[in-house]
């Protein structure tokens, strides 16, 4: 599994765990606008992703990511920086 696949897989699993009410994981949907998440729900989602990837995600990354796709890109950059 490539790093990109591993990150997207972890995000999908985290969404399923922390937001079970969502029918499908849409990587292009806006987290606040389309999906309607509030700041607390986004924080819960990020903590789930952190646990699955065993990384720490600084909260300022969230300001750069309004969709799951953008979040995946930010996390990939973070993982590469750490490597």
Partner 1 sequence: MSLFDKFRPLAEARASLGDHDIPPIATPIDDISSAAEGVIGGLPVILAGTNNYLGLTLDSEVVAAAREALEHFGTGTTGSRMANGSYRAHQALEREIAEAFGWPSAIVFSTGYQANLASISTLAGRDEPLLLDSDSHASIYDGARLGYAETVIFRHNDPDNLDRRLARLGERAKNALIVVEGLYSMLGDQPPLAEFVEIKQRHGAWLLLDEAHSFGAFGRQGLGLAEQLDLLDGVDFIVGTFSKSLGSIGGFCVSPHPELELMRLAARPYIFTASPSPAVIAGTRVALRKLVDGQPLRQQLWQNIHRLYAALNRLGYRLGSDQPGPVVAIILPDRATALAHWRGLLDVGVYANLMIPPATPKGMNLLRISLSAAHTSAHLDHIIESFEHLRLAA
Q: How many residues bind partner 1 (CB under 8 A)?
A: 16
Select the residue interacting with partner 1 from 14, 46, 68, 71 (CB under 8 A): 46
- Segment near partner 1 (CB under 8 A); pick from 2-10, 23-31, 45-53, 66-74: 45-53
Q: How far is CA 68 from CA 38, 80, 83, in A?
A: 14, 18, 22
- Total Cβ atoms within 10 A of residue 5: 9
3-state secondary structure of 18: helix
Q: Token digits for 61?
A: 């990354």
CB closer to partner 1 out of 53 and 68: 53
- Residue from the set 41, 66, 69, 70 that interacts with partner 1 by CB under 8 A: 41
d(CA 74, CA 64): 8
* Residues binding partner 1 (CB under 8 A): 38-41, 43-44, 46-47, 51, 54-60
């Amino acid at each position: 599994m490539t790093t990109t696949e591993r990150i997207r897989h972890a995000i999908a699993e985290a969404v399923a765990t922390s937001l079970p009410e969502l029918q499908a994981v849409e990587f292009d949907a806006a987290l606040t606008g389309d999906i309607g998440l509030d700041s607390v729900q986004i924080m819960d989602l990020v903590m789930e992703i952190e646990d699955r990837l065993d990384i720490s995600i600084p909260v300022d990354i969230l300001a750069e990511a309004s969709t799951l796709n953008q979040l995946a890109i930010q996390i990939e950059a973070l993982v590469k920086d750490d490597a």
